[in-house]
Amino acid sequence: MKTTTLLWPSCLALLALLVGFPDAASAQPPAPATPSYLQPSEDAQPLPKFEVSDHRESTYASPRSITATKTDTALVNVPQSLSIVTRELIDDQAMQGIGDVTRYVPGAGIAQGEGNRDTPVLRGNSTTADFFVDGLRDDVQYFRDLYNVDRVEVLKGPNAMIFGRGGSGGLVNRVTKQATGAPTREVSLQFGSWNQVRSTLDLGEAVTPSLAYRVTALFEDSDSYRDGVSLRRYGITPTVTWRLAPRTTVRAGVEHFHDERTADRGISSFHDRPVPTAASTFFGDPAQSPVDATVNSAFLVLDHSFAQRITLRNHTRFGRYEKFYQNVYPGAVNAAGTTVALSAYNNATDRDNLLNQTDLVLPFATGTVQHQVLTGLELARQETDNLRLTGYFTTISPTTSSLNVPLAVPRTTLPLTFSPGATDAHNHGIAHTVALYAQDQITLLPQVLAVAGVRFENFSVDFRNHRTASTVDSTDRLVSPRLGLIYKPAEQVSLYTSYSTSYVPRAGEQLASLTLTNRAFDPESFTNYEVGAKWDLRPDLAFSAALYRLDRGNVVITDPADATKSLLVDGQRARGLELGLTGRLTHRWSVVGGYAYQDGTITTTQSATILAGARLAQLPRHTFSLWNRYDFRRTWGLGFGTIYRDDLFASTDNTVRLPGFVRFDAALFWRVSTHLRAQLNVENLLDRTYFSTAHSNTNITPGSPRALRLSLTTRF
């Protein structure tokens, strides 16, 4: 029976709002000091009161970012491919997670993540750790929700100079909603196919001229088109902003987020294609495949502006992550195509992150050359405990870890006993980071700009394997440069070239794979070469193009001439073209679209199944997406979207291919009154059969049949 108790407050609130609320007296919004990543005026001025209009003035375009350079910079002056998914686009498409975000980001895709985590694929590299919140690391494996997000920024290519280790193909940064003093009162209810029920709250205002608060909250309880699969999650994020002095501001907040769902690893394959079966068919046992993730985090930011436009920011973030998942999942189908193997395991990960960054921005001039210098210090401590257990079907025998079931009915209800296998992890690790970085944004001439920077990072890991009682430590001293050159034939047009590097230490992106053997090897390296163009056709319409080559090196392989030795080789190369168009074609017509051509190959034979010349997994050659919203009147509009993805291989052995597909989506927007709007989203409008994601040759997720979502949102 579904739990609906927590929905009643939201339902009653919506009903009361529809009847009518008396106007609350609003306080003067606070005037926070200009943050260190913005260019302040010499004299801070209080912000005036303003009225909230129901007229649609926002756009899908976001012309500036503080993430790619840690300074407030126009995107046209950033020598890098960068896509921003705004809150308006998130709302118009009823997006809920990172997988939704990647659909309209050229050069980005999403993998299955074994049904328990976000796994974007950026320029041929899948990642479970390259996630950031307001510029600080958020690297545990779980599904992130967008209820408290203002926008999502996807940076393509290595970004170690700004963000540190990892980010091999790019990264995803969520910019959260903050207390600004603007009056915000919004409640939304969403109902959808397969018993989806979702409610969100966004409430904030100024308490005094110098103090403001904001609270965002979420509750969701939903089923799925997949048999036996369900989702329940909730979260709350209160934040405050306090102007201590005209040039000094403190921001603080906490988040409690909980996500529980069924680990769904999809279906298996047969004869190099996904098994032909209904999209709802579950392989394994959903009742014994729970996922439970809890995130408790807090942040504190101090911003201060000095004279001569010098700014200082200190940002501290603490996160405690508790993650457990268990899955009964499919393996290979037998040669006759009559049975499929099922196996099981569970995994528990606890991690505490304590991160601190200090950034100082100093603008100055040397003659006619303008500089904006960023210097920074990052300190981090990450403590991780990890335990993995193998599932045994003990009613068959104490050592039976794999069970064959009929392919026509690929389910089991046999009980499982979980205990340590021979290679199961039981680890404890503490990682420390000390990093210094410096960057200069230089105006050499009015038409010639440059961005040059370097990061020096000391990354150390103390690792204990509880299974063997062995300990091992490792220290990597990483030097990550970044160089970009920009030519601007016009103020709104830029042509750029850039070079950047990043590294993944041997402990892995999840800090869980350090051994006495691999600690001796240099970290894996990723080097990106990119040329591109950006054109702000109008202030609210931007076009971008990028050509890139991304090389992966220091891949460990067994020496073909001596199996007792290992070698470091160049492992893969990805090349591609990315095109993007975002913004408003007319006052009524908004668009976001992109095209990507991606060619990724294995450059050196690495094993019997990973051969030179093979295509990278999860990487389609061609992808295209285009979303349109047209507002016929102030009261109603239509949305229409197209997504095309070329075929791809589920694994680097290139034996199983997922067919390409075209999917159409649509939406209807209706402003019922000044305080109420309704929205209907339809995904997979033509109800086409397709396969959306994969983790391996035997873990493939069928795409959703036609799905409807009805949203009611009130602002008061």
Q: What is the pLDDT of residues 334-391, one digit of tens each?
A: 999 999 999 999 999 999 999 999 999 999 999 999 999 999 999 999 999 999 999 9
Contact 206, 184 (CB under 8 A): no
The answer to whether position 44 is within a domain reads no
Question: What pLDDT score does 58 carry?
Answer: 58
| Closest of 348, 339, 343, 346 to residue 329, by C-alpha | 343
Lowest mean pLDDT across 5-9, 265-269, 662-666: 5-9
The answer to whether position 504 is within a domain reads yes
Give the model confidence (pLDDT) of 204-258 as tens digits. Answer: 999 999 999 999 999 999 999 999 999 999 999 999 999 999 999 999 999 999 9
Mean pLDDT of 525-551: 97
In this predicted structure, the answer to whether residue 575 has a pLDDT above a threshold of 90 is: yes
The answer to whether position 101 is within a domain reads yes
Give the model confidence (pLDDT) of 294-328 as tens digits. Answer: 999 999 999 999 988 999 999 999 999 999 999 99
The answer to whether position 359 is within a domain reads yes
Question: What pLDDT score does 7 carry?
Answer: 37
In this predicted structure, the answer to whether residue 14 has a pLDDT above a threshold of 70 is: no
Q: What DSSP line would sit under 676-716, residue for residue?
A: EEEEEEEESTT----EEEEEETTEEEEPP-SEEEEEEEEE-
The pLDDT-based confidence of 556 (bands split at 50, 70, 90) is: confident
Give the model confidence (pLDDT) of 608-634 as tens digits. Answer: 999 999 999 999 999 999 999 999 999
Residue 435's DSSP bridge partners are 378, 457
In this predicted structure, the answer to whether residue 11 has a pLDDT above a threshold of 50 is: no
The pLDDT-based confidence of 28 (bands split at 50, 70, 90) is: very low
Question: What pLDDT score does 2 carry?
Answer: 41
- Supply φ then ψ for residue 305, to 5 degrees: -110, 130
Give the model confidence (pLDDT) of 260-273 as tens digits. Answer: 999 999 999 999 99
Give the model confidence (pLDDT) of 103-139 as tens digits. Answer: 999 999 999 999 999 999 999 999 999 999 999 999 9
The answer to whether position 686 is within a domain reads yes
Mean pLDDT of 53-61: 61
What domain range includes position 270?
7-18+56-394+434-715
The pLDDT-based confidence of 491 (bands split at 50, 70, 90) is: very high
Question: What pLDDT score does 164 carry?
Answer: 95
The answer to whether position 150 is within a domain reads yes
Q: How many CA atoms lie within 13 A of 615 on its CB side?
A: 15
Contact 483, 529 (CB under 8 A): no
In this predicted structure, the answer to whether residue 488 has a pLDDT above a threshold of 90 is: yes
In this predicted structure, the answer to whether residue 52 has a pLDDT above a threshold of 90 is: no
Mean pLDDT of 674-686: 97
The answer to whether position 628 is within a domain reads yes
In this predicted structure, the answer to whether residue 30 has a pLDDT above a threshold of 90 is: no
Residues above pLDDT 70, as percent of the chain: 92
Q: Is the dihedral of CA 132, 137, 143, 145 positive or negative?
A: negative
Number of H helices, E strands in the chain: 4, 42
Indicate left, alpha or beta for 439 from its phi (over 0: left) and psi (-120 to 50: alpha): beta
In this predicted structure, the answer to whether residue 49 has a pLDDT above a threshold of 50 is: no
Please count the structural domains in the chain.
1
Contact 438, 374 (CB under 8 A): yes
Angstrom distance (rounded) from CA 301 to CA 293: 26
The answer to whether position 416 is within a domain reads no
Query: What is the pLDDT of the chain when averaged over all its residues?
Result: 91
Question: What pLDDT score does 269 carry?
Answer: 98
The residue with greater pLDDT, 339 or 516, is 339
The pLDDT-based confidence of 564 (bands split at 50, 70, 90) is: low
The CATH number of the domain holding residue 163 is: 2.40.170.20
Give the model confidence (pLDDT) of 165-174 as tens digits. Answer: 999 999 999 9
3-state secondary structure string across 8-67: HHHHHHHHHHHHCCCCCCCCCCCCCCCCCCCCCCCCCCCCCCCCCCCCCCCCCCCCEECC
The pLDDT-based confidence of 146 (bands split at 50, 70, 90) is: very high
